[in-house]
Structure 1
Amino acid sequence: MENRIKTLRKQKGLTQSQLSERIGFDSSVAGKWELGKTEPNLQTLFQLADFFGVTVEYLYCHD
């Protein structure tokens, strides 16, 4: 999941801080997701999926 969030974020040309703030979180949250330190909860997964225009399944499935 971490790599997909990072890939989608970069495709939108956003920094980790910008992504975090656009979906209503502290500026360091996206970085923690991308490093695998934390994972978004289900509600946040839906927010991310909506923001990026993808499904929750796409975000959550590991390669």
Structure 2
Amino acid sequence: MPNNNKLLVPQARAAMEQFKYETAQELGIQIPQGGYMGDLPSRVNGSIGGLMVKKMIQTYQQQRAGQ
């Protein structure tokens, strides 16, 4: 199944994939070999994405607070 997500900064694709794996590991979720996550329940994928967004917002707030 193709990945239809379009990044605003295409050069960040590898970094975002790494971020996804790190976040899943932090949650104790094992990503299947090969990286295909379509067989994981939507609740699991949602928790990974939700934590990623939370971390991105936190980073942005910290950057803004430091200005």
Q: Which category of TM-score, normalised to the shorter sequence, fits these structures?
A: 0.3 to 0.5
TM-score (norm 1): 0.38
Higher Cα radius of gyration: 2
TM-score (norm 2): 0.37
